[in-house]
Amino acid sequence: MKITLHSPLDMHLHLRDKEMLKVVAPLSSKSFAGAIIMPNLVPPITTIEQVKNYREEIYASTKEDNFIPYMTLFFKDSYDYDFLKEVKGFITAIKLYPAGITTNSEGGVSGLDSKDLAMTLEAMSELGIPLLVHGESNGFVMDREREFVTVYERLATDFPKLKIVMEHITTKDSAELLDRYPNLYATITLHHLLITLDDVVGGLLKPHLFCKPIAKRYEDREALLELALNAHPKVMFGSDSAPHPRSKKESCGCAAGVFTAPIALPALAELFDKYSKLDNLQPFVSDNAQSIYGITPPKKEVVLAKESFKVPSSYGEVVPMFAGEELSWKIEEVR
Amino acid sequence: MKITLHSPLDMHLHLRDKEMLKVVAPLSSKSFAGAIIMPNLVPPITTIEQVKNYREEIYASTKEDNFIPYMTLFFKDSYDYDFLKEVKGFITAIKLYPAGITTNSEGGVSGLDSKDLAMTLEAMSELGIPLLVHGESNGFVMDREREFVTVYERLATDFPKLKIVMEHITTKDSAELLDRYPNLYATITLHHLLITLDDVVGGLLKPHLFCKPIAKRYEDREALLELALNAHPKVMFGSDSAPHPRSKKESCGCAAGVFTAPIALPALAELFDKYSKLDNLQPFVSDNAQSIYGITPPKKEVVLAKESFKVPSSYGEVVPMFAGEELSWKIEEVR
C-alpha cells in the first residue's frame, strides 16, 4: 500500500541555530515542502536583520531541497504598524510566548492584557499577520493550558479580524474553542496524538517524551485525535519538533521537547492508517494550512509505503521519538 | 537553636540488597533507631528463610549502630494462618503491592477482591500483623491513588480488626480516610511534603524527584502538610527513600524513587521549623509509630542544630534529594 502526499507542511518547527541547525534542518527540508520556523533562539528573533540572517542560515543547510522556511518574529508589544508593515515581506506570522513558559521564552510577554497588546495586535489584524500563541498560564502544570482558555477567548473576541493559531494544543478545552470562535485555529503535534502523561511518568520516566505543554489525559488525546483524523478544517499539523542533545535530555535537569521531524510523516501515516483515515492525511499535513495561511508551498511529492522502517537510535546527538523502534510506514521517495 | 529527637523511626524504607545495601543501610542506621524494611527485592521476600537472610545482611552493614530493621514480607494471598503464626516472630508487617505498580512489584496482587484475600487478611487480623499497602490502581497516573480509595474503604470495612497502613499517601482523598476508618493509618514521605508535580515536570524535568506515587497537586500537598505538621496520631514518617544508581535515574528510562534517608531528619527539622511546628516532629518521626505498631525501638538521641548543612552531591552512585544544596538544619550528634 502506498500514498502520495503533496507538499507536506510542518506548521510549527524548531530548527535552533548553528551546529544543531545543520543537523536537523535537512531532516525537515528533505520531506517537507515548508515549515513555520519558531523564533525562540537566544536571543529571540525580533528584527528584520535577524529574520534575514536566520533565513539565510536555514537556506544554507537546506539548499539541496525545495523547502520554504516560513519565518516568524518573537512577539513584542512594542511592534508598531510601521515596523510590522516593513517586516511583513519577510515573515509569515508572529509567535507570542508568555514569559518563561518554555525553552528560551524568558523574553516573552508577562501580562496578557488585551490593552497592553492592542497596538501590535491591531496592526497585525490590519496587515493580515497571524498571531501564533503558546497558550499556557504559569499555573499548575496540568492546568496551564486550561487556564489559558480565557485568554484565547478574550484575544479572539477583542481582535476579531486577527487570525490566532493556538499552537500545539493538548486539551479537550482547547479543541472545543475551535468551533466557537471563527478566528481561532490550531496546530497539533504528532506526539500529542500518541501519548498521555502516563507515557511520560506513568511507568519508567521517559525524558525523550517530556515536552511543553506536557502530555495530558486520555480524554484530551481523544479530542485531539478526533480533530486530526477528521482533518478539521481549522487544524494543521505542526510537529513542534524540538531537538536537544542527548546530554540535555538524559540529565538531572532535562530540557522539554520531543524530536519528531524525521519520523513525523511515516508515524502520521501509521496513525491515520490504523484508524482507516489515510484520506484525511493530505488536508491535515498541507491543504488546511494552505487555506488558513493563504500560502502556496513548492511542489513536492512524498511517497509513503506501508513497509517496515527502523527509526535510527539518534541523528547526531539528538534522539528521535521511536528511537530504535519499528514503524510500519516509511518514506519511499521524495520527488 | 537545637532539638533532640528520641529514637527516630523511618516507617517505610528501601534498603535494596548486595552492594547498594552496603552503601545505603549505614546512612539510615546512623540517625534512625529503626525502620520498616520493604520486601520488594528480586525475588521478593516471601519466606522465613529470606527474612532471616535479609535481616542478617542488614545487620552486617549496620552493626556499628543501634538500629532495628523491622522486617516485612511481600504479601501473597496464599499465606495461611499456620505460616503466618510461624513467621510472626520474624516480621513486623506484610506489604501488599498491586501487581506491576512500582519497582519490583511484578509479583504483586492482581485482583484486590476481599474474598480472594480473606484467608490471609483474617489470619493477619487474628495474629495482629499490620497490612501495609501501596495504594494505587493501574489507571491514569494522576488518578491511581484516588481510584484506590474504594479499595481502602472495602479493606477497612471487611477486616475491621486489621491494622491497615496506607503507605506514602499523596492525596487529599487518602488523607480524609484517616478520620473515617478507625483501622486506617498512613505514612507520609519527606518529598511528598515538599514537592508537587510542578517540581517534577513543571520546569525542567527532574528525574531525581520522579517517584511512585507521583507527586500530585498543591491542594494534595497541603492536606499532607496539615497531617504531618500537626502530628496527626494516625500518621507516621516513612521516607520511602528509594536509592537507584545515577545511571538508572539520568537515562532514557528513569527508575522511580527519591533518595532521602541521609538528609531526611535535617530536612524535616527545616520544614517543621519553617511552620513553627518543631514540637510535633518527635511524634511524627517516632512516638506515633511506636503507639500504632506497639514497638519499642532502641534508645537513640539525635541532636539537630539550626546550622547550615551542604548536602553531598552523591552517596556512592546514588544522588540524594537536595544534592549539592544547603539545608538550614544539620545532625549535630547522635548518641
Q: Interface pTM (ipTM) of the complex? A: 0.94
Sign of CA dihedral A294, A299, A305, A309: negative
The answer to the question of residue A298 being in a domain is: no
Sign of CA dihedral A99, A104, A107, A113: negative
Rg (CA), chain B: 18
Q: Chain B residue closest to A102 (CA)?
A: B203
Does pLDDT of B209 surpass 90? yes
CA distance B254 to chain A (A): 5
Closest CB to A252: pick one of B202, B207, B217: B207
Does pLDDT of B101 surpass 90? no
Residue A205 has what pLDDT?
96
The whole-chain average pLDDT of chain A stands at 96
Does pLDDT of B100 surpass 80? no
Catalytic residue at B113?
A: no
CA distance B234 to chain A (A): 29
| Euclidean distance between the first and the last CA atom of chain B, given in angstroms as a whole number | 18
CA B208 – CA B218 distance, rounded (Å): 19
The answer to the question of residue A26 being in a domain is: yes
Does pLDDT of B102 surpass 90? no
Q: Chain B residue closest to A101 (CA)?
A: B203
Decide: B218 and B196 in contact? Cβ < 8 Å: yes
Q: Taking CB atoms and an 8 Å cutoff, what residues of chain B touch A198? A: 140-141
Cis peptide before A262 (omega within 30 of 0): no
Domain of residue A211 covers: 10-244
Q: CA angle, corner A245, sides to A242 and A251, nearest 5?
A: 105
The answer to the question of residue A16 being in a domain is: yes
Residue A113 has what pLDDT?
80
The answer to the question of residue A287 being in a domain is: no
**What is this structure's pTM?**
0.95
Does pLDDT of A108 surpass 90? no
- The CATH code of the domain that includes A104 is 3.20.20.140
The pLDDT of A253-268, averaged and rounded, is 96
> How many domains in chain B?
1
CA distance B6 to chain A (A): 35
The answer to the question of residue A278 being in a domain is: no
The answer to the question of residue A304 being in a domain is: no
Tens digits of residue pLDDT in B220-247:
999 999 999 999 999 999 999 999 999 9
Decide: B255 and B244 in contact? Cβ < 8 Å: yes
Band the pLDDT of B120: cuts 50, 70, 90.
very high
- Catalytic site residue from A17, A80, A240, A279: A240
Strands (E), chain A: 2-6, 9-13, 34-37, 68-74, 93-96, 131-133, 164-166, 184-188, 235-237, 301-305, 309-310, 326-327, 330-334
Q: Which of A46, A73, A47 is nearest to A131 (CA)?
A: A73
Q: CA angle, corner B296, sides to B291 and B300, nearest 5?
A: 115
